[in-house]
Amino acid sequence: MTAPPSPPSAAEIDQLIDARWIIPVEPADTVLENHSLAIQNGRILDLLPTAEATTRYVGKRHFKLTEHVLLPGLINLHTHAAMSLLRGYADDMPLMRWLADRIWPAESRHISADFVQDGTLLACWEMLKGGITCFNDMYFFPRAAAMAAQTAGMRAALGLTVFEFPSAYGSGAEDYLNKGLAIREALLDEPLVSFCLAPHAPYTVADSTFERIAIIADQLDLPVHIHLHETREEIADSLKAHGVRPLERLRRLGLLGPGLIAVHAVHLEAEEIALLATHGCHIAHCPTSNMKLASGIAPVGELFKHGVGVGLGSDGAASNNRLDMFQEMRHAALLAKVANHDAASLPAHQALRMATLEGARALGLDKNIGSLEPGKAADLLAVRLDAWEMQPCYCPASHLVYVAGREQVSHVWVAGKLRIDNKHPVDLDIQLLLMKTKMWQNALISQG
């Protein structure tokens, strides 16, 4: 009698993660219970029931997260990371007075490559600790921001910022563009770094510069990341100076298209929403900053109805004052319900999608990140949901948006590399980070 064949041996892989729940984001509205994620060479190899995973794979590291939900890394679609050093520096002021009276004068005195590197490093670790694995930045000295992100092991989409006026970084629009493009060329091979063109706003950039940006964006296939329709004052000033609202001005200059990331987009008329949809534009919705600066409530419900892609951003820590995507998900969901007088508006799964896959789509990175699918980069986080004050848990997606906070994030991986391990940052010199932060605080206090 012939003996039965032996079962095939389990394959050794880099990491195996068992979780009570996994929310892959794609397919939409899916919660997988008692599933596992297999990771090899920084990428997702497999997503399957835990009972099968334990016979198919042996992880060199095996995480058994029995009370956790695993989901894609959160994507902060709009921030000014280095402004973490200005957290709380100028509060309770409307946008233009906040900028003109406090922020721009402080930046003129203190902005440098060191300021940006130190401030961005502080922001990176705050974001990582809260489950954010990728951020879309808009600030001066992008190479210094890249160095900070690389130090933290975080994914960054770096904005090549453009203004007409001079700063410590550039003498004018041409100089900003040339420096930014040179930095992009130097960092093209960095796997965790991508780029956007980042003209600051319609009120700080001239038509001729916008026309050149449109050409470069088309030639290099780069997103264009811009503040747009943030306040009523911005729109009134555009009508006075250009005879049209800012969005129409950008349309005439050739900026509308799938690569446009319009930040804030608070004040939109019906035909403007239809225009954004027709051109496949994306919105970076920053609900907390919009509330804090009293800019208004973005018409997210109408944007969704027209099929406009909407991701979530924190804005900078100077106007929020947290780089916290759990807060943004919750505020986005609640504001949408209030604005639309509809408790079903923007449900939890949709808020999670905004914080993950929609951000990736806006950045053109959705083939690599934004959902937990085999072949994609292993950018993910685990959130522990077993604390007594969080019980009972009927739906982990609902809990992530309405109950949990960044303090429940236990583990974070970027490209399969563990950056937060059981709530502890990996490879962070906390004392050095605090020392540098205090140094900049003292300089801002003493010099204003």
d(CA 109, CA 203): 22
pLDDT at 88 over 90: yes
Dump pLDDT digits (tens) for 118-132: 999 999 999 999 999
d(CA 121, CA 135): 12
Both tokens of 54, joined, read 């334990």
d(CA 14, CA 80): 34
Dump pLDDT digits (tens) for 173-215: 999 999 999 999 999 999 999 999 999 999 999 999 999 999 9
The pLDDT of residue 98: 86
Q: What is the mean pLDDT of the chain?
A: 96
Residue with tokens 């079962």: 7
Dump pLDDT digits (tens) for 385-419: 999 999 999 999 999 999 999 999 999 999 999 99
The pLDDT of residue 448: 66
The CATH class given to the 74-362 domain equals alpha beta
Mean pLDDT of 315-331: 97
The pLDDT of residue 8: 64
| SS3 state at 363 | coil
pLDDT-above-70 percentage for the chain = 98
d(CA 123, CA 110): 17
pLDDT at 383 over 60: yes
| SS3 state at 401 | helix
Q: Do domains 11-72+378-415 and 74-362 have the same CATH topology?
A: no
d(CA 257, CA 250): 10
Dump pLDDT digits (tens) for 360-380: 999 999 999 999 999 999 999
The pLDDT of residue 94: 84
pLDDT band at 1 (very low <50, low <70, confident <90, very high): very low
pLDDT band at 154 (very low <50, low <70, confident <90, very high): very high
Domain borders along the chain are 11-72+378-415, 74-362
pLDDT at 260 over 90: yes
CATH for 11-72+378-415 is 2.30.40.10
> Which among 125, 69, 77, 154 has a CA at the least distance from the CA of 408?
69
| SS3 state at 188 | coil
Phi, psi (degrees; rounded to nearest 5) at 81: -55, -45
Dump pLDDT digits (tens) for 24-82: 999 999 999 999 999 999 999 999 999 999 999 999 999 999 999 999 999 999 999 99
Both tokens of 214, joined, read 């449109």
d(CA 348, CA 275): 27
pLDDT at 6 over 80: no
Q: What is the DSSP string of 314-361?
A: ---GGGSS---HHHHHHHHHHHHHHHHT-TTSS-HHHHHHHTTHHHHH
